[in-house]
Structure 1
Amino acid sequence: VEEVSLVAHDIGGAVALRFALAHPGRVRRLMIMDSVSYDSWPSPTWRRIIDEELDGHAAMPQEEFDALLTRQLSMTVADTSRMTGDVLRAYLAPHTSRLGRTSFFEHQVRHYDARYTQEITGRLGELTMPVRILWGAEDQWQPVRYAERLRDDIPGAELVVVPDAGHFLMEDAPDRVVREIRDFLSVAAES
């Protein structure tokens, strides 16, 4: 694939920003949603978990892990009723074994490190492709001030803040997210 339009969320947003900076000629358009950036991560609650739980995760009983992750996941939505039942079970399912819990801590949480975003902060002004920043107004992990800062640091970036949506805005406002992505990509197709 020679040229792409990227749509990325959370840590994927940082990966997309890094890719766009490393390969600007290969990225037609970039949309980031509730992305980690600057010094915004890990969030205070994840920092506490890293400090207090990371090294003891192997001995953590499944019920304790489920409770920990459920507390974290409830913070991802503005409407907590959206993170219950089948939706919550789907998020918990990959981690219902010792291997799943170990993988979660060792291959994800252990690598939450703002240095990956801080080291590109001074280069955001180099981005010249169209950039749309989509953000949940109620994001508890990545507050809107980070979206505003990204908008200000990326030339011509457009910021769209979705009301009544949290970090997982695709759970709170799925139709709006689909519309925004389709609109963004259709403009790319017309270019």
Structure 2
Amino acid sequence: MAGLQDYLETSIEGLAALKAHDLSGAVDRAVDIIVAALGAGKPMLVCGNGGSAADAQHIAGELVGRFLRERKAYNVIALGTDTAVVTAWSNDYSYESLFARQVEAHGSQGAVLLAISTSGNSKNVLAAAEMARQLGMTVIALTGEGGGKLMPLADVLLDVPSRFTPVIQQGHLCLYHYLCGAIEDRLAGAA
């Protein structure tokens, strides 16, 4: 690993590339979709593996709890956090179908799946997106450059223009913090 200053420079360059990539239109579409779903009482389901699973929990925590303002809770579920479901289903069937099973349980037409995969190729995230499409849900994908195999399953692609996982994850953090703030502003009213 390079020194701290080099690593920070890599991070800054990654965020500069994300800014130049200009996902403003896609982010605005994502906010519209999520606000419409949550406003209609539909859930937003969020899934990912490893660091992306932690991001899914972070997003749910911000939107069920609060991000920047006091307001009512939003119906957001981080899949993969129920250890009984995760271990039972993965043991008896497969980890690849775990998120799809949870989407089947909690999803419905008009709901949203926020699918997070830095590569865009995580098999269980792809299966979740396929199940969401079958149920008439909207799929928003948060990925690395190009979206991988998740791209054609996504109604909205938010791809960080990098193939370096730490930079992608830092970009994801910026994008979903912005989403959380915009969702709060729209649903709770601008301050």
Higher Rg: 1
**Bin of the TM-score, shorter chain as denominator length:** 0.3 to 0.5
TM-score computed with the length of structure 2 as normaliser: 0.37
TM-score computed with the length of structure 1 as normaliser: 0.37
